[in-house]
């Protein structure tokens, strides 16, 4: 029995992606901080297909020790797809940003994603049919005013994942690595970015996608041979693309 792992599955894109993969008949391991939301999601998935195995893993991946323990807890399962969706943003100028908040954001958006990606690749890089999809942002390809630190974390995700994809390909390994780059999506993202309790997308944001639409784009990327699935911030059209960042294979002596 093979499983698809989705982090940040308690709401938004991760939540809808879990439902979309359940529709495909995929067994799921769902991770997020809020256990009650995960259990609610598990109940919905059971209604879609009661034969699916759904494992709930409440965990705060912003804490490094939790990241390693979380991955270790999955060793007894055979994994097929890993989706690193967990992450959050921060809306503030660099000089005014809350350092404690961005420290947590750096741990989650960069550190946890890198550790989990590395461990999954180490174990499954030469297994046919395996994929890793890391969720970046349209802001991982352009810098956005008052989102500079967040954008920088997503530039890392985009560059790391594109580089991983090409590294795997250049070595003739079987795993595929892909990056999804949404633009504004109607999720809880704005609440945490702005530190507010409510945010009205209608009227406040000229264009945005629903989480269900983004989950559909996730499946399009999953099904494709392309590395990048990105939303054009001008038109809000979704495009599947080859890697965007330049990549050069190392030709020197690693021991030098």
Q: How many residues does the chain have?
A: 256
- Tell me which residues are annotated as active site: 150, 154
Q: Kindly compute the dihedral angle of the four CA atoms of residues 151, 152, 158, 159, in this order, to the nearest 10 degrees.
A: 160
Domain count for the chain, please give it: 1
- Asked if residue 201 is part of any domain, the answer here is yes
Separation of alpha carbons 109 and 156, rounded Å:
9
DSSP string, 133-156: EEE--GGGTS--TT-HHHHHHHHH
Strands 78-84 and 27-32: what pairing?
unpaired
Task: Inform me whether the pLDDT recorded for 255 exceeds 60.
Answer: no
- Asked if residue 249 is part of any domain, the answer here is no
Compute the Cα dihedral for 204, 229, 83, 136 and give only its sign: negative
Task: Inform me whether the pLDDT recorded for 201 exceeds 70.
Answer: no
C-beta separation of 187 from 205 below 8 A: no
Separation of alpha carbons 159 and 163, rounded Å:
6
Consecutive H or E run containing 45: helix 35-48
Separation of alpha carbons 254 and 235, rounded Å:
44
- pLDDT in the model for residue 107: 96
- Asked if residue 20 is part of any domain, the answer here is yes
Task: Kindly report the number of other CB atoms within 10 A of residue 146's CB atom.
Answer: 15
C-beta separation of 231 from 207 below 8 A: no
Q: CATH no. for residue 136?
A: 3.40.50.720
- Asked if residue 251 is part of any domain, the answer here is no
- β-bridge mates for residue 57, sequence order: 31
Banded pLDDT at 197 (limits 50, 70, 90): low
- Asked if residue 253 is part of any domain, the answer here is no
Inter-helix orientation angle 148-170/99-106, to 10°: 10
Banded pLDDT at 200 (limits 50, 70, 90): low
Separation of alpha carbons 83 and 17, rounded Å:
9
Strands 228-231 and 238-241: what pairing?
antiparallel
Q: Domain residues for 153?
A: 2-241
- Asked if residue 8 is part of any domain, the answer here is yes
Coil, helix or strand at residue 36: helix
Residue listed under structure tokens 């989650």: 108
Q: Which two tokens stand for residue 35?
A: 């256990």
- Asked if residue 248 is part of any domain, the answer here is no
- pLDDT in the model for residue 139: 92
Separation of alpha carbons 141 and 159, rounded Å:
9
Q: 105-164, pLDDT tens digit by residue?
A: 999 999 999 999 999 999 999 999 999 999 999 999 998 888 899 999 999 999 999 999
Q: 210-248, pLDDT tens digit by residue?
A: 999 999 999 999 999 999 999 998 899 999 999 999 988
| Strand intervals (E) in 88-217 | 131-135, 176-181
| Residue from 76, 66, 70, 85 nearest 18 by CA | 85
Percent of the chain with pLDDT over 90: 79
Residue listed under structure tokens 């759904």: 54
- Asked if residue 212 is part of any domain, the answer here is yes
Report if pTM > 0.85: yes
């Amino acid at each position: 029995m093979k499983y698809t792992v989705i982090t940040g599955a308690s709401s938004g894109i991760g939540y809808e992606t879990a439902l979309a993969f359940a529709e495909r008949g995929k067994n799921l391991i769902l991770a997020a901080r809020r256990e009650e939301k995960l259990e609610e999601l598990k109940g919905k998935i059971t209604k879609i297909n009661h034969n699916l195995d759904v494992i709930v893993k409440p965990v705060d991946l912003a804490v490094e020790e939790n990241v390693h323990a979380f991955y270790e807890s999955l060793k007894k399962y055979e994994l097929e797809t890993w989706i690193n969706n967990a992450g959050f943003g921060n809306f503030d100028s660099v000089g005014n940003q809350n350092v404690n908040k961005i420290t947590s954001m750096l741990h989650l958006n960069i550190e946890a994603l890198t550790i989990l990606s590395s461990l999954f690749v180490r174990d499954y890089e030469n297994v046919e049919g395996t994929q890793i999809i890391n969720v970046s942002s349209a802001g991982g390809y352009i810098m956005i005013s008052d989102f500079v630190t967040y954008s920088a974390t997503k530039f890392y995700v985009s560059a790391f994942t594109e580089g991983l994809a090409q590294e795997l390909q250049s070595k003739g390994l079987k795993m595929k690595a892909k990056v999804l780059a949404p633009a504004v999506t109607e999720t809880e993202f704005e609440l945490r970015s702005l530190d507010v309790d409510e945010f009205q997308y209608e009227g406040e944001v000229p264009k945005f996608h629903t989480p269900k639409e983004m989950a559909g784009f996730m499946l399009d990327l999953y099904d494709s041979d392309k590395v990048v699935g990105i939303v054009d911030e001008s038109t809000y059209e979704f495009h599947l693309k080859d890697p965007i960042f330049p990549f050069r294979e190392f030709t020197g002596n690693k021991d030098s």
